[in-house]
Amino acid sequence: MSEKAPNEARLLPWTGLGGRPCYVVGNGTGKVSRSADKVEALQLGMALELLDHADDMLADAQATEPQLRHVGEALVHSLRDVHRVARSRGLRLGIPDDSGEEHPSGQGLVRLLP
């Protein structure tokens, strides 16, 4: 990974109070950034396992409606996490993001400071 400017904002893979997006400002080498890297890896790994479970559940003709609803809810939660990871990584690559403040993962900011 290339060295980042010290004022680069990173969308973190978790939310704050009221579901508001959290950011860390730095060069990507601090404790919060390392924790975010670990959380992202965990979220992506869990998403892959959940996809396998959902495949199995959908192939099972005896799966009940509550079981399918539960796996559907888990997939929605996981997809939000994966979307946040993808969005964060895209922002760090400088890919423009036109999401407004009402977007669930926050306004698309590449840099917070001039």
Q: What is the pLDDT of residues 75-112, one digit of tens each?
A: 999 999 998 999 888 878 877 666 655 655 555 544 43
Q: What is the pLDDT of residues 14-47, one digit of tens each?
A: 988 988 889 999 888 899 999 999 999 999 999 9
Give me the pLDDT at residue 114, please.
Answer: 36
CB 106 within 8 A of CB 97: no
Residue with tokens 């396992």: 49
Grade residue 48 by pLDDT with cuts at 50, 70 and 90.
very high
CB 26 within 8 A of CB 111: no
Is this model's pTM higher than 0.85 or not?
Answer: no
Exposure b/e, 47-73, CB count within 10 A at least 16 = b: beebeeebeeeeeeeeeeeeeeeebee
